[in-house]
């Protein structure tokens, strides 16, 4: 099991080079899942591995389901929605229902404006997934999820 965690992390880092949205979300999900698993399981290594696997799957599902329409919705939420207020939409093509809750914006030392957001997705098959992501505002005013 101790050999599994470094291999998993290496695979995640290698896939970051040319990753698509689903892969990026899977990476983020695995990192969050590994952290949560290590904190909640008695055996930290097993917990991290199990959490990483579950988080990777959840992140991949949400990242794979989100399309351009959903990205525009997330960008609009980050730009206009007050902190803590939920915004809900349903993708007209995939019929996935999303709920987004942004946190307060903050300015990093480099001047970039960032904002955390919680995204919950409910797929048409009833499966629910939640990810916590970070986003930054580009100079042209569009928001981009940081993976």
Locus of tokens 């917990």: 47
State the average pLDDT over residues 92-105.
92
Asked whether residue 13 carries a pLDDT value surpassing 50, the answer given is no
Asked whether residue 14 carries a pLDDT value surpassing 50, the answer given is no
105 burial (CB, 10 Å; 0-12 / 13-18 / 19+) is middle
φ, ψ (nearest 5 deg) of residue 110: -80, 5
**Digit-coded pLDDT (tens) for 31-65:** 666 666 666 666 666 666 666 666 665 665 555 55
- In this prediction, residue 79 carries a pLDDT of 93
Please report, for the chain, the start and end positions of each structural domain, with discontinuous segments joined by +: 4-65, 68-146
Higher local confidence (pLDDT), 72 or 103: 103
């Amino acid at each position: 099991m101790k050999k599994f965690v470094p291999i998993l992390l290496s695979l995640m880092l290698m896939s970051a080079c040319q990753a698509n949205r689903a892969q990026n979300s899977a990476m983020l999900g695995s990192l969050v899942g590994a952290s949560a698993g290590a904190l909640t399981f008695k055996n930290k290594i097993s917990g991290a591995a199990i959490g990483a696997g579950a988080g990777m799957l959840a992140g991949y599902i949400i990242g794979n389901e989100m399309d351009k329409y959903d990205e525009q919705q997330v960008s609009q939420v980050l730009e206009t929605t007050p902190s803590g207020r939920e915004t809900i939409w349903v993708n007209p093509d995939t019929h996935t229902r999303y709920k987004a809750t942004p946190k307060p914006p903050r300015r990093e030392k480099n001047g970039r404006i960032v904002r955390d957001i919680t995204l919950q997705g409910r797929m048409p098959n009833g499966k629910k997934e939640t990810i916590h992501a970070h986003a930054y505002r580009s100079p042209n005013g569009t928001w981009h999820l940081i993976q």
